[in-house]
Structure 1
Amino acid sequence: MAENNAPEAAPAKKGKLKLIIMLVVIVILAIVLSVAGTLWFLGGSLPGMAGGEEEGSDEAVEESFVSSTYVELQKALVTTVQAEGRQRYAQVYLALEATDPQALAAAQLHLPLIRSQLVMVLGSSKFDQLQTPEGRRGLADEMLTTVNQVLEQEGEPAIKRVLFRNFVVQ
């Protein structure tokens, strides 16, 4: 009787082995499809299936980035400012930022005119406004407009920002 049981056990083991292999293949297939579906849903691309348009747009983004360059005005702008009843002083050290090096070269060329205009802008400011962050931001915006007007009158490219390196009111 032992001989009869042995042949029946071998087909049962082959059936279980096939079942285990099929389950492993199904689980692996489900994982792969889940990852691929998630990547597709999130807008990513599948490895090896990236389109030429997406690669070109990444290169265009890298090529469109232009770093800024800066010029520091070595001498401070010092002037009196408007205050109620007292004479107040303001001292400002500035830097100019631009993405076009020609704009900074033009600013250095016309620096005496730019400094004169900036001293006028600073001198016409109110002491109370210069003590608040919003007032200083407004002054920086007004100075930027003034510098760009001077550069525009001279036919030169504009700068991007006026930066305060040091700001003192007393």
Structure 2
Amino acid sequence: MAEDAQSQVEGESGKGSRKKLIIIIAIAALLLLGGGGAAAFFLLSGGEDATVEAVEPVRKEALYTKVRTLEGRPMFVVTLQSDDGQRHYMQAYVEAKSRDQEVVDALELHMPLVVARLNTLFSTQKFETLMTIEGKRALRQQAVETVQSIMQDKIGRPGVESILFTNLVMQ
């Protein structure tokens, strides 16, 4: 009887140790796979973030300058040429967009010249042309080129990105 009890204990401990060994091996394999996967994720994703940050350019904030006369009037009022013989008027509120404080300062310093050239440009326009979207776009592009020309002469670079008509009324 003692021998039977002894063999039973040895058989159960052999089966138990095998189960424990299998469980330990399975846990070790899971830890190795999980650790390897986590390491790969962190190593690969860290390299991509570094390249994305290096590629993105830094953009300065846009600065807007109201184009106004010496009296402080924020608008242009001009008589337009017309084929129908009637008088037509245009009132325009104009702002210059740039991204450099030096350009803003130069615009303010040379505002009388900017206003005079834009007045000349606006007063030579035809009413019928400005009634179309294409005519307004062309006028805006001409205004950009005029102001950029002035800035090129005064500070050595165009500086102004665009000219915006914040209000444009024609009658």
Give 1:67's match in structure 2, choosing from 42, 61, 65.
Answer: 61
The structure with more radius of gyration: 2
TM-score by length of 1: 0.69
Consecutive unaligned residues of structure 2, counting only runs of 5 or more, are: 69-73
Query: What amino acid is aligned across from residue 80 of structure 1 in structure 2?
Result: T
Deviates more, 1:136-145 or 1:25-34: 25-34
> The residue matched to 1:67 in structure 2 has which SS?
coil
- Percent identity between the aligned chains? 23
> The residue matched to 1:45 in structure 2 has which SS?
helix
In the alignment, the residues of structure 2 paired with residue 138 and residue 151 of structure 1 have an alpha-carbon distance, to the nearest angstrom, of 20
Residues 144-159 of structure 1 aligned to structure 2 (within 5 Å): 144-158=144-158, 159=160
Give 1:26's match in structure 2, choosing from 20, 29, 32.
Answer: 29
The equivalent residue for 1:165 is 166
User: 1:118: how far off?
Assistant: 1.3
Q: CA distance change for structure 1 residues 31 and 67 in 2, over 3 Å: closer, same or farther? A: same
In the alignment, the residues of structure 2 paired with residue 25 and residue 126 of structure 1 have an alpha-carbon distance, to the nearest angstrom, of 84
Query: Do the aligned residues in 2 keep the contact of 1:67 with 1:99 (CA within 8 Å)?
Result: yes
1:98-139 deviation per Cα after TM superposition (whole angstroms, max 9, x unaligned): 222121111112112211211232333444554555544433
In the alignment, the residues of structure 2 paired with residue 96 and residue 102 of structure 1 have an alpha-carbon distance, to the nearest angstrom, of 13
TM-score by length of 2: 0.68
> Number of paired residues?
160
Residues 79-118 of structure 1 aligned to structure 2 (within 5 Å): 79-85=78-84, 86-118=86-118
> The residue matched to 2:106 in structure 1 has which SS?
helix
Question: RMSD over aligned Cα, in angstroms?
Answer: 3.5
Query: Do the aligned residues in 2 keep the contact of 1:118 with 1:143 (CA within 8 Å)?
Result: yes
In the alignment, the residues of structure 2 paired with residue 104 and residue 19 of structure 1 have an alpha-carbon distance, to the nearest angstrom, of 76
In the alignment, the residues of structure 2 paired with residue 83 and residue 17 of structure 1 have an alpha-carbon distance, to the nearest angstrom, of 99
1:120-168 deviation per Cα after TM superposition (whole angstroms, max 9, x unaligned): 3233344455455554443322211100112223345432222222223
